[in-house]
Amino acid sequence: MGAGHSHLLHRPGHSPVHALPPHCKIAATFGFVVLVVATPREAMWAFGAYAVLLGAVAATARIPAGFLLKRLLIEIPFVAFALLMPFVAEGERTPVLGLSLSVSGLWGAWNVLAKGTLGVAASVLLASTTELRALLTGLQRLGLPSLLVQIASFMIRYGDVVTAELRRMSVARRSRGFEARGVRHWGVLARTAGALFIRSYERGERVHLAMVSRGYTGTMPMLDETAATRAQWAYAAALPATALAVCVMGYAL
Amino acid sequence: MNHTPANPGDATPSLEVSGLAYAYPDGHQALFGVDLTVGKGERVALLGPNGAGKTTLVLHLNGILGGGVGTVTVAGLPVAKQHYAEIRRRVGIVFQDPDDQLFMPTVREDVAFGPAAAGLRGAELEERVRAALDRVGMADFADRPPHHLSFGQRRRVAVATVLAMEPEILVLDEPSSNLDPASRRELADILRSLDVTVLMVTHDLPYALELCPRSVVLSEGVIAADGPTQDLLCDEPLMRAHRLELPFGFDPASVAVA
Ligand SMILES: Nc1ncnc2c1ncn2[C@@H]1O[C@H](COP(=O)(O)OP(=O)(O)O)[C@@H](O)[C@H]1O
Ligand SMILES: [Mg+2]
């Protein structure tokens, strides 16, 4: 979390997509992904249509294709898995480039690849147009328990503080000539972890004290009441609504 | 050494502590009958060596600690369970480590936390936050995460978080600790510009002299002295008896105080 709360995926901007309330975007993304997953894998053209839809969203959000493609790399482990499927799956076989591959495996691989890629691309789009903090408040508005949201917010806020503490402890260790080299030194590292836990725990108590002193009674006041307007909902719904049309046609044709 | 508040005629004092004694659950007694009155608009320094009970006293002012003997009232309202919400709005405590105080992801949300907990919303809340940040000169940093600010800036934001609650009394625990000289002076300018009652816990004797016309010495759980800051700092036997040491070369008598 080096660069502010603009996490790794976030790309600040002022496009209409950036400006949408986070809960609208989360709901739209979720709806889109559900529809993609529900589409029969035989309707290959439908996945092309989905990709075009996402391309349109990316263009509206002014997210360059290169940025998006680079973030899609998270997907690579799934791709590897998908590529294995035609080789290992059972059942009817078909020759492809001189290799005998499983038909159901090929369909399976296509299914994983197409749906996975679309799902990841949609999530990357959401993440690159929404700040981490806004994602959390969006989830809270959509009914995620406030306690979970609080915990996640504290992780964002204190991630750096704890990391800095850890770094200071490591500097202190090394200044006294200690380098962790192998199993013999794990004891020292374990004690560091213990000390870090105690420090974090004590910090937690002091933070709690400071919160109570400012009137905290157990629930976080909901700031930034970004109630979405009907127009914003409609705008966000454009993506899942079009996807629904595609999905229905996928079944019909 | 008894000292009457600046405006003896002025209605209710901001803070009245009387006969306050407290022992921690482990049996360690930290306060042995503290009496302290701070008049409205006064700036008072609370001096004392480590372990004197200063923080313990501060935590009694808004009911974080309690259950001992004695009473605390804030602008006439006794610190008791049924008044905690109002008391915590009236007593603004700035803790020593700004990283403990600033727990929200952005400066703006942090400053809004107190007033929002008190029920303020919308434009009114927005205005409160802006005004508080303006008073500490941090309005341009509203959308920054607190941990990306310098230490001095974080301390100023911490002051803003309690100013946003429009407190009756501002209590600062070691406000000048860890500040470089420039940040220290900036904070002093801010504190001097505020028109709230201030109780400042500190070891920094020149800082107390600069900001607070009146000081009290807390030592071994009782108020050992109470008087004009310059008089106390010039009283060498008193200072020595309570482990209060002036920085090398600093002569409190040579400073002209307003
Ligand atoms: N949670 C605690 N439990 C037991 N004793 C404590 C606790 N906190 C502080 N004390 C003791 O109470 C005394 C006063 O502490 P404190 O108010 O923190 O002093 P100061 O802030 O003036 O340095 C000290 O002797 C300290 O050891
Ligand atoms: Mg203390």
Q: Give the CATH number, domain containing residue B229.
A: 3.40.50.300
> Do residue B165 and residue A214 have CB atoms under 8 angstroms apart?
yes
Pair (A39, A99) in one structural domain: yes
Mean pLDDT, all residues of chain B? 91
Neighbours of B229 (CB within 10 A): 24
Q: In what order do the strands lie in the sheet with B77-78?
A: B29-38, B15-23, B69-74, B77-78
First-to-final CA distance of chain B: 21
Residue B163 lies in a domain: no
pLDDT tops 60 at residue A7: no
Q: Are residues A98 and A209 in the same domain?
A: no
**Which residues are within 5 Å of ligand 2 (an ion), measured at CB?**
B 55
Nearest ligand, CA B30: 1
Short-list A214, A204, A34, CA closest to B91: A214
Write down the pTM of the prediction.
Answer: 0.74
Is A99 within a domain?
A: yes
Do residue B145 and residue A5 have CB atoms under 8 angstroms apart?
A: yes
Per-residue pLDDT reduced to its tens digit, A230-239: 888 998 899 9
Ligand 2 geometric centre to CA of B55 (Å): 4
Looking at the fold, whether A133 and A162 belong to one and the same domain comes out as no
Tell me chain B's radius of gyration from C-alpha atoms. 18
Has residue B189 been placed in a domain? yes
Which of A179-188, B35-44, B182-191 is predicted least confidently? A179-188
Mean predicted lDDT score pLDDT of chain A: 83
Planar angle of CA A34, A39, A43, nearest 5 degrees: 155
- The domain tally of chain B equals 1
**What's the pLDDT at A226?**
65
Q: Is B246 helix (H, G, I), strand (E, B) or coil?
A: coil
Number of domains making up chain A: 2
- The answer to whether position B93 is within a domain reads yes
Distance of alpha carbon A156 from the chain centroid? 15
Q: What is the pLDDT of residues B96-107, one digit of tens each?
A: 989 888 888 889
Q: What is the mean pLDDT of residues B167-179?
A: 94
Q: Is residue B106 part of a domain?
A: no
Contacts of A153 (CB under 8 A, 6+ apart): A133, A136, A220, B104, B105
**Nearest CA owner, ligand 1 atom 6:** B24
- The two structure tokens encoding residue A203: 């910090």
Q: Domain check: are A24 and A133 in the same one?
A: yes
Question: What is the spatial distance between Cα B99 and Cα A158, in angstroms, rounded to a whole number?
Answer: 9
B9 assigned to some structural domain = no
Question: Token pair for residue A125?
Answer: 């789009």
Res. A59: pLDDT tops 90? yes
* Phi-psi region at B45: left, alpha or beta (left = phi > 0; alpha = psi -120 to 50): beta
Nearest chain A residue to B93 by CA distance is: A213
Q: How far is the CA of B54 from the centre of ligand 2 (A)?
A: 6
**A236: domain range?**
16-139+226-252
Q: Specify whether A245 is located in the same domain as A164.
A: no
Q: Between residues 93 and 132 of chain B, which touch chain A (CB distance below 8 Å)?
A: 93, 95, 97, 99-101, 103-106, 109, 112-114, 116-118, 121-122, 125
Residues A116-121: what's their mean pLDDT?
90
**Is residue A128 located within the same domain as residue A237?**
yes
Residue A94 in any domain: the answer is yes
State the CB neighbour count (10 A cutoff) for residue A95. Answer: 8
* SS3 at position B57: helix
Would residue B113 count as lying in a domain? no
Q: Do both A60 and A113 map to the same domain?
A: yes
- Cβ distance A210 to B121 less than 8 Å, yes or no, reads no
Same domain for A167 and A131? no
Indicate whether B40 belongs to any domain: yes
Structural contact between residues B76 and B101, judged by C-beta atoms closer than 8 angstroms: no
Q: Say if A8 falls within a structural domain.
A: no
Q: Is residue B256 part of a domain?
A: no
* Sequence-separated (6 or more) residues with CB below 8 Å from residue B146: A157, B98, B99, B102, B104, B106, B107, B110, B154, B157
A150 lies in the same domain as A242: no
Asked whether residue A250 carries a pLDDT value surpassing 60, the answer given is yes
Bridge-partner residues for B91, per DSSP?
B169
With a cut of 90, say whether residue A186 has pLDDT above it.
no
Mean pLDDT of the B151-170 span: 94
Angle at B198 between CA B156 and CA A209, to 5 degrees: 65
Instruction: Provide the angle, in degrees to the nearest 10, between the axes of the packed helices A22-38 and A103-129.
Output: 170
- pLDDT category of residue A1 using cuts at 50, 70 and 90: very low
Owning domain of residue B54: 15-101+168-240
- The secondary structure of residue A229, as a DSSP letter, is P
Closest Cα to residue A72, out of A56, A86, A54? A54
Residue A253 CA, distance from chain mean position:
33
pLDDT score at B10: 55
pLDDT score of B258: 63
Are both A104 and A207 inside the same structural domain?
Answer: no
Spatial distance between the Cα atoms of B74 and B98, rounded to a whole number of angstroms: 25
CA distance B159 to B230: 26
Residue B91: closest C-alpha in chain A: A213
Asked whether the predicted pLDDT for residue A223 surpasses 70, the reply is no
How far is the C-alpha of B234 from the C-alpha of B243, rounded, in Å? Answer: 14
Which of chain A's residues have a Cβ under 8 Å away from the Cβ of B99? 161, 203
Shared domain for A89 and A130, answered yes or no, is yes
Between A11-15, B18-22, B30-34, the lowest mean confidence (pLDDT) is in A11-15
Q: Which residue has the tokens 């806020």?
A: A157
Residue A3 has a pLDDT of 37
**In angstroms, what is the span from residue B25 Cα to ligand 1's centroid?**
11
- Find the mean pLDDT for residues B42-54: 94
**Does A102 fall in a domain?**
yes
| Residue A39 sits in the same domain as residue A152 | no
Mean pLDDT of the B187-198 span: 94
**Chain A hits for B85, Cβ within 8 Å:** 215, 217
Residue B40 clears pLDDT 90, i.e. is over it:
yes
B22 Cβ neighbours under 8 A, 6+ residues apart: B29, B30, B31, B56, B60, B65, B67, B68, B69
